[in-house]
Amino acid sequence: MILQLAVASAQPAAPPEPAPTFAVPSSPRWAPAIAIVTVQLTALRFTEAYLYPEPFAATDSSVFRHYRDAFTQPPLFDGDKPAFRWDGDPLVINVVGHGLLGSELYLRARTCGFGWAGSWLFAAAASTAWEYVFEGNGVRPSLQDLLYTPVAGLALGEGRFALLRLAGTVRAPVLRAVLRAVFDPFGELARSPVVRSPC
């Protein structure tokens, strides 16, 4: 019995398996963040043109007039309209749609190594590009969207980022993959073996 104890204690114990974590680059990765967001905004713009062909699917000279208006007139804001409808868009698009867009823009930067402030600025810049470049050929930019999208992105995106990191500590691989896909579906697609984005 003593011999068995001595042999058992002499054998090195197997080190505990470390919990898997969600790897975030140690410094900002600009190229993948910009590339993924550009693809996302382009896909969103085509979807918008399909759902709302007038004015977003226009291909005539009105496109140039809309761009001129976007860059020469102030952003849309009508204080006489109900709250969060100051640009004339439906409440669901303004609150839910732009909140989710801001969250996605913020999360792309956050998972690519940006801090919370850098991710917020990235979301603000991408939201501005959405309003002026992607949508500017159909409608004038919205002041509400320019302000609300990055702020909602910070609140929702940082929450999603925390949940994504927490999901990365789950030991069960299937559950971990499901949770990551729920909290960051587009990011998981970008990081898949097919696309192979580093973040």
pLDDT band at 13; cut points 50, 70, 90: low
- Among residues 167, 156, 151, the alpha carbon closest in space to that of 100 is found at 156
pLDDT tens per residue across span 154-163: 999 999 999 9
pLDDT band at 79; cut points 50, 70, 90: very high
- Among residues 128, 161, 117, the alpha carbon closest in space to that of 28 is found at 117
Asked which of 11-20, 46-55, 163-172, 177-186 is least confident by mean pLDDT, the reply is 11-20
Determine the average pLDDT of the residues in 141-168.
97
Asked which of 23-27, 80-84, 92-96, 176-180 is least confident by mean pLDDT, the reply is 23-27
pLDDT tens per residue across span 17-42: 544 556 888 899 999 999 999 999 99
Q: How many CB atoms lie within 10 A of CB 101?
A: 25
At 59 the pLDDT is: 87
**How does the average pLDDT of the chain come out, rounded?**
90
User: In angstroms, rounded to a whole number, what is the distance separating the alpha carbons of residues 47 and 41?
Assistant: 10
At 5 the pLDDT is: 46
Q: Which residue has the higher pLDDT, 125 or 59?
A: 125
pLDDT at 1 over 60: no
